[in-house]
Amino acid sequence: MAKVDFAVAVGGAAGQGIATPGDILARIFVRRGLHVNAYNAYQSIIRGGHIFLILRASDERVNSMGDKIDALIPLDQDTMNRHLTHLRAGGACLFDAEKIKPGAPRDGVQMCALPVRELAGASKIPNVQNTIALGALMQMTGVPFEALEAAISAQFGKKSKGAAIVDENVAVARAGYEHAAAQFQPFSTSLPDTGKRYAFLEGNQALAMGGAAAGVKFYCAYPMSPSTGVLHWMAKNARKLGIMVRQVEDELGVINMAVGAGHAGCRAMCATSGGGFALMTEALGAASMMEIPVVAINVQRAGPATGVPTKTEQGDLWQAMGAGQGDYPRIIVAPTTIPDCFHTIPELFNLVDRFQCPGIVLSDLLLSEGRASMAPEEFDFNPEIDRGEIIGWGGNGNGDAPPVPEGGYKRFKFTESGVSPRALPGTPGYMHVAATDDHMENGILISDEFTHPHKRQAMHEKRMRKMEGVLPRIAPPKLFGPANAAVTLLGWGSTEGVIREACEKLAGEEGIVVNNLQIKWLVPLHGDHILSLLSKSKTTIIVENNYSGQFARYLRGETGFAAHGHIRKYDGEPFMPHHIVDGVKAILAGATKTYVPTHEHIV
């Protein structure tokens, strides 16, 4: 069990500067060797509305935003009104006494009214109450002032007039710190320095950095929440890393440009959300038909249509599986954690290069815009690279190519594996056409003048055969937790953290032994393996962030397995651990087969 488990919530309107104290706090935590998980509930508005950031720290890896709030910093009255009752007993609320009226908290909650005007003195820095509250909070959690000072320096030091901004923030933070020492009760446990140091990043950064580690040389995108963070990271680092980054006119252009770059020999990647992904689907089929490796990331948000742009959902599984007309080989993967976002991309590029087909990554807002700590040694910038079969491979197809075989080069040669060695444009002697029309081994079309059912059948089988080679190369899912559990919680992608935390809660607080089977590789699916694991499970409950049970239906289609119960959520907000705990209890009690929790935070 973790010795420390501390959650801070900061809420206010967009434009009140919630991100900054969040970043400062996160930096303090990771520099004290505490793991962090952050979830920011926000809205599609630049100024106004309501933003609610929950930052949770622990000496062990933090799997989710958790169920409780220890400290609340409301920056406006609205936040006080919405969230004060979410503070646990023993928690504290730190607020600007001059601007915000305190509400009625639970018993045992400390209301820390900060005389902001008095503490700020002559300071004119914007959002001064944020910095004062940070100072007070750090005092109450036993963090030495120097740690806050260093984090403030790191936050503002690089700006123009940075030194002045740092000094002024440090001064008001100190005023808050000293005020708390004199006036407020400290928390019962303090935040220790474990001696370790972690990095802190959002899932989109992890996806982008995974791309850089994989050797992505071409990245393009059209801005779309919640995927735009990948573009921002790529654009910022493009020149340093030698990555061509383009913002394109639309997602049709994005995917087709990436396909072009992939064909020419670059590892090419793009990211979007469900709406943009819908525009990309035809070209994913085209990449498959032309046998071009390319990776498209769909960061899911609540749909359909424009939906709720700043809210999460796992609602695009069937869109990804049905992307594009016809049957075609492709790989679909849903990373399960933020570190897994990093590791998945190089792994996926090796597969799409080897099997010359598109790869689809299903992330979601929770994973991509959620943030987490990661140990520096977890970043592997030197992963294994397998570019598959490229003729004249001397770096990247720029070496000497062997003589063209008798009878000419067959780009789409029939092979047992279905994989045909590819020649990149520019390789002398190996000219061919890659067509989205179906074609013969030499690339000549069988769509128009030369249609031929036998040739079409043989080529279609060659392409589809590649999928048989993919399955043995991807890891089968593993059970987490005791083998002889009363309940198996089955999830896919981003819900791994919250499900595992629910498993611990169910065992610890309810005495129900639960394990978790989390599915990462969706297509191809280790169906037989999953079925053999689930056949030993007494009760299987599928947990997913969508309305219709998209994975449950897929699993049933692939394996015939029907789960005993379902926990589903489609209100735009991610699961909290107790939602799953309550669902398991309700389903075991026979109250329902499909449990839909109600989100308590109105955000």
240-259: contacts with another protein (CB under 8 A): 240-246, 248-250, 252-253, 256-259
Please, which of residues 488-527 interact with another protein by CB under 8 A?
A: none
Cα atoms in the 13 Å half-sphere on the side-chain side of 551: 35
Task: Determine which residue in the list 209, 338, 365, 543 makes contact with another protein, applying CB under 8 A.
Answer: 209
Output 54 or 401, the one with its CB closest to another protein.
401
Using CB under 8 A as the binding rule, whether residue 396 contacts another protein is answered as yes
On the 0-12 / 13-18 / 19+ scale of CB atoms within 10 A, 199 is middle
Stretch that binds another protein, among 42-50, 223-231, 266-274, 509-517 (CB under 8 A): 266-274
DSSP codes, 493-510: GGGHHHHHHHHHHIIIII
Cα 56 → chain centroid? 17
Question: Residue 491: which H helix or E strand, with range?
Answer: strand 487-492
Instruction: Report d(CA 587, CA 563) in Å as an integer.
Output: 12
Decide if 304 contacts 169 (C-beta within 8 A).
no
Q: Tell me how far, at minimum, the Cβ of 260 lies from another protein, in Å.
A: 3
Decide if 488 contacts 539 (C-beta within 8 A).
yes
Q: Tell me how far, at minimum, the Cβ of 249 lies from another protein, in Å.
A: 4
Q: Tell me how far, at minimum, the Cβ of 158 lies from another protein, in Å.
A: 10
CA triplet 145, 149, 150: central angle to 5 degrees?
120
Task: Determine which residue in the list 49, 260, 307, 527 makes contact with another protein, applying CB under 8 A.
Answer: 260
Output 172 or 283, the one with its CB closest to another protein.
283
Q: Tell me how far, at minimum, the Cβ of 35 lies from another protein, in Å.
A: 13
Output 292 or 467, the one with its CB closest to another protein.
292
Instruction: Report d(CA 382, CA 213) in Å as an integer.
Output: 7
3-class SS of residue 89: strand
Which two three-digit tokens encode residue 165?
A: 């901004």
Please, which of residues 427-456 interact with another protein by CB under 8 A?
A: 427-437, 442-445, 448-449
Output 236 or 478, the one with its CB closest to another protein.
236
Output 251 or 573, the one with its CB closest to another protein.
251
DSSP codes, 230-248: HHHHHHHHHHHHT-EEEE-
Please, which of residues 18-77 interact with another protein by CB under 8 A?
A: 30-31
- Whose tokens are 């930096």? That residue is 27
Decide if 601 contacts 78 (C-beta within 8 A).
no
DSSP codes, 183-197: HSPPPSS-----S--
Using CB under 8 A as the binding rule, whether residue 126 contacts another protein is answered as no
Which residues touch 122 (CB under 8 Å, ≥6 apart)?
Answer: none
Please give the order of strands across the beta sheet that includes 539-544: 479-480, 514-519, 487-492, 539-544, 565-568, 594-595
Please, which of residues 342-381 interact with another protein by CB under 8 A?
A: 374, 376, 379, 381
Q: Tell me how far, at minimum, the Cβ of 230 lies from another protein, in Å.
A: 14
Instruction: Report d(CA 273, CA 311) in Å as an integer.
Output: 12
Q: Tell me how far, at minimum, the Cβ of 22 lies from another protein, in Å.
A: 14
Using CB under 8 A as the binding rule, whether residue 266 contacts another protein is answered as yes
Using CB under 8 A as the binding rule, whether residue 268 contacts another protein is answered as yes
Using CB under 8 A as the binding rule, whether residue 393 contacts another protein is answered as no
Using CB under 8 A as the binding rule, whether residue 224 contacts another protein is answered as no
3-class SS of residue 51: strand
Which residues touch 522 (CB under 8 Å, ≥6 apart)?
Answer: 317, 320, 321, 332, 333, 334, 362, 492, 554
Output 444 or 458, the one with its CB closest to another protein.
444
Using CB under 8 A as the binding rule, whether residue 406 contacts another protein is answered as no
Q: Tell me how far, at minimum, the Cβ of 199 lies from another protein, in Å.
A: 4
Task: Determine which residue in the list 32, 179, 263, 422 makes contact with another protein, applying CB under 8 A.
Answer: 263
Output 217 or 569, the one with its CB closest to another protein.
217
Q: Tell me how far, at minimum, the Cβ of 439 lies from another protein, in Å.
A: 9
Q: How, if at all, do strands 69-74 and 87-96 pair?
A: parallel
Output 197 or 536, the one with its CB closest to another protein.
197
Cis amide linkage into residue 192, ω under 30° from 0: no
User: Binders of another protein: how many residues, by CB under 8 A?
Assistant: 80
C-alpha torsion sign, points 375, 377, 378, 380? positive
Output 283 or 502, the one with its CB closest to another protein.
283
Output 2 or 244, the one with its CB closest to another protein.
244
Using CB under 8 A as the binding rule, whether residue 534 contacts another protein is answered as no
Using CB under 8 A as the binding rule, whether residue 223 contacts another protein is answered as no
Decide if 53 contacts 601 (C-beta within 8 A).
no
Instruction: Report d(CA 431, CA 101) in Å as an integer.
Output: 75
Please, which of residues 274-313 interact with another protein by CB under 8 A?
A: 282-283, 286, 290
Using CB under 8 A as the binding rule, whether residue 261 contacts another protein is answered as yes
Task: Determine which residue in the list 100, 136, 214, 348 makes contact with another protein, applying CB under 8 A.
Answer: 214
Using CB under 8 A as the binding rule, whether residue 201 contacts another protein is answered as yes
Q: Tell me how far, at minimum, the Cβ of 228 lies from another protein, in Å.
A: 18
Using CB under 8 A as the binding rule, whether residue 213 contacts another protein is answered as yes
Task: Determine which residue in the list 35, 56, 82, 217 makes contact with another protein, applying CB under 8 A.
Answer: 217
Instruction: Report d(CA 248, CA 276) in Å as an integer.
Output: 12
Using CB under 8 A as the binding rule, whether residue 230 contacts another protein is answered as no
